[in-house]
Structure 1
Amino acid sequence: MPHRRLATALLFCSLAVWAASGPHPLLRRPAVNRTHIVFSYAGDLWSVPRSGGDAVRLTAGAGVETDPYFSPDGTWIAFTGEYDGNTDIYLMTAGGGIPRRLTYHPAPDIAQGWTRDGRRVLFRSGRASHTRSNHLFTIAREGGFPEQVPLPMAEEGSYSPDGARLAYMPLARAFETWKRYRGGRMSVIWLAKLADSSIERIPQANSNDFNPMWVDHRIYFLSDRNGPVTLFVYDSRSKKVSRVLANDGLDIRSASLGPDAIVYERFGEIWLYELKSGQARQVDIRMAADLAEVRARWVNTAAHIRQAGLSPSGARAVFEARGDIYTAPAEKGEVRNLTNTSGAAERSPAWSPDGQWIAYFSDEAGEYELHVRAQSGLGEVRKFHLGEPSFYEHIEWSPDAKKIAYTDKSLRYWYIDLERKQPVEVDRDLYQPPDGLPAPKWSPDSRWL
């Protein structure tokens, strides 16, 4: 019953994501026309003048709206939306308005751009695939039945000025969270003649090339061939690739072509690259909205309990739920929130053998550390630095409650003496077992691991 009371209790929780008025909101997937930039933020589409300023929200659907693309004349926006529960292509005017649904297939349809005449929207979908690959399709601005682009598989694309060729990626971007991937699934860009599906390859340099954007005889694209992802250009006449933007910092995540500029996203910031001048500048964007996910609110944790453990006496149990650590009585008593933090994730709680302490991992300091506090929730928290940053698991107390063993994501076993406060690496595995690295176990005398 106490467990049920904990599961159904409404716990006050303040989510620590960047507030709408914060200094660095996460702005994504920008597109640009002659006067405005449209981007995705907090699952909605927003618009702001190219000069910057206060952003205006264009959508407020229950699902996610993203991947905006201006029509060539800048009057329409095609985007990916989830208004009706499925992922489909929607259309609205550049200034906002009621979105009109264009696709209705159960498979996800992802917006990719427009044909050069502005009459059809380009999107990718797995609706006609019997493998994991996708195809590109176009659909009329008025709706109707989509037409498949005559390529055996394709992910992202950009039409040549005459519409006769397409710069496209035959393979999906490989492991976006795995930087500098250099395996068999490195993404490449090909130039296809749509009349006969023949291709020309943009020279690759053991790199991931993606996000093609065709301007006259040049194809701009993103690549990690020199390190961090930045903007490159391929000249179809000289057949040479050159770097457009120097980048010694964080990756450029996405880019989109406008009539005279390329807008791109880098670490949540929006930048504008002018094609004529070759200069890039950050667009100063101010966000203000009543974002429900940012507000402090009561949350039912019934579906969010992840780990549990019993006290040595069995009188209470400890739980991890929504980034906080709780204890609850087996029969009578109160539920205690031991951490009650906003903006920090606490996890993997473990009760000490003497029943006095509870240990858990916390990222309160920015990287995960070991925290140990009294099971009553009173007194100061003892905090232990665990060495190099990592993701840790498997807290195991020694029987004498003086040491704690644990593992990390690099397949290493560690222990820390709570008095000496110095982490010690015990061993390292070469391969991860199918069920993950097994938890360490102490000998009864606490001398062996």
Structure 2
Amino acid sequence: AETNLWVLDLATGRETHVDQDNYTWPNRDLAPSWSPDSRWIAYQKRLLGSQYHAVFAYDVADNTTHQLTNGLSDVIDPTWDRSGKYLLFLASTDFALHTGWLDMSSYNQPVQRGVYLAVLSKSDPSPLLPQAGDEPSDSAKAATPAKPDSAKPAPKPAAVHIDFDGFSQRIVALDVPSRDYADLHAGAAGEYYYIEHVPNHADVLHRYDLKDRKAIALVDAAAEGYALSFDGKKLLYQGATPMGMPDGRWAVVDASGPAPAPGKGLLATSDLKITVDPVAEWRQIFDEAWRIERDYLYVANLNGADWPAVKKKYEVFLPYVRHRADLTTLLSQMQGELTVGHSFAGGGDLPKADALPAGLLGADLDVANGRYRIAKIYSGENWNPSLRAPLSAPGVDVHDGDYILSVNGVDLAPPENPYEAFIGTVGKQVQLRVNSRPVMEGSHLVTVVPIASEMALRERDWIEGNRRMVDSLSHGELAYIYIPDTGEGGYTNFNRYYFAQQNKKGAVIDERFNHGGSIADYMIDIMTRQLHGYFSQRMGDRYTAVTAPAAAIWGPKVLIINEMSGSGGDMFPYMFREMHVGPLVGTKTWGGLVGWGGEPRFV
């Protein structure tokens, strides 16, 4: 679905199409902003070819559109100063690989943006020029700013005039460091607000005061997204946890002046309630889902599906939907008629059920001699929080073949479910009585901390088993790298294991059960590197040669695939073969690469 910008004249009912974006990015937004005199609309748009954003201005008076920025930087969030003299925006000159939002090569490429101000008229000076009184002097100290007359009515917005000639030369940078900024808005004249994304921390909401030429942290922990009142005097924001998750607390504070104290202006939202008719809501969701597929699927013929007939086929089941999960199943079945791999249904209001998960030990248990025996302990990586193995922690005296005789003093033996003894123990200390024999005599106590899931430990064990097998069969000459997906997990695994085995003469790449993500261009780029030369350095009585580029495995490579790999797991082996990285071994992948996006969301 394309993103369009329209103007609706309420007096006449006339609709005017202004523009539309050129690409269906998932996070696209034209970010339109009215000028104070309502003559102009500033907005952002991706340019054809480069996919960088440029800022445009639409003149409502004569229906003309003007590109304001030159496209050599990525420019977003245009907003007008209330005086009508300036247009502000965020811009980045290192957007670079982020033009490919689906490309893995865009991972870990920080984008820094500065806050910029454009002087609209040639006759107006930059507000950042040195001014009399900037330097300390007696006259400057004696100057007292005039107090505004609160009794005077608000002045009529001045007409906004834009000189397009030489516009780029009238763009100046506000004196704030370039960082990962977003969501720029203007409040009262000379006051500008923007969000800073801070790694491993909540977003910070800043305000820049043009008069003081200084920025302050207005809200230290804000969820992205805030709103200013029409007059720019009040600000609504949602609070966030220290790590950035929305905490559900909303507050209205003064937009100007000092930063509000924590907790000031909180709104009493805890008692807000809404009456919902789930059956009517499910009917509406069903109808909207059907219409969205009809109007926005990437092919107009809906892959040959008789869509009105499909609706009749599935809506007969609506009276039997009694849970949101039932509706999701029904929508998924209906979407399946389109034969599209990436077309999903999910989410919704689900009733909350209190869960009391059982803690896990990271081990296989079996029954022997009337007791539960530890058949295998998964070792994991105890330095890695996501791969902590309770029974292999330093100082835990437990071994394969030992028996668990009791848990926290309660005897454990079949036919009791062994996991019932660990309910509610995730992250808590638990005492186990263990012995190498199925008797209490000679047993000893150990203290362990169970984990919530063993999935990562078991996957790690499988990967390490494969790596050891390849190492053994190749007599230490081949690397083994497992790629679980083409998202963050696969990116992390590739970086960790590929470069750590550059001493190998070749590599076995394994993408079985790969559940996709991005397009793995980064991995293909690395694996197809060409050798350009060597650097040699004398080290005592020997010479050490380093290849250029240095980060590579120069030998042959093979990719293992299976039918459980799809999406990016389809594209990766295709690219591997097309770029002649090496042969494919295994069964044909799933074939679920086709998908669509950019459709409207449910309200």
User: What TM-score results when the alignment is normalised by the length of structure 2?
Assistant: 0.33
Greater strand share, 1 or 2? 1
Tell me which of the two structures has the higher relative contact order, counting C-alpha pairs closer than 8 angstroms and 6 or more residues apart: 1
User: What TM-score results when the alignment is normalised by the length of structure 1?
Assistant: 0.42
Greater helix share, 1 or 2? 2
Q: Name which one, 1 or 2, has greater alpha-carbon Rg.
A: 2
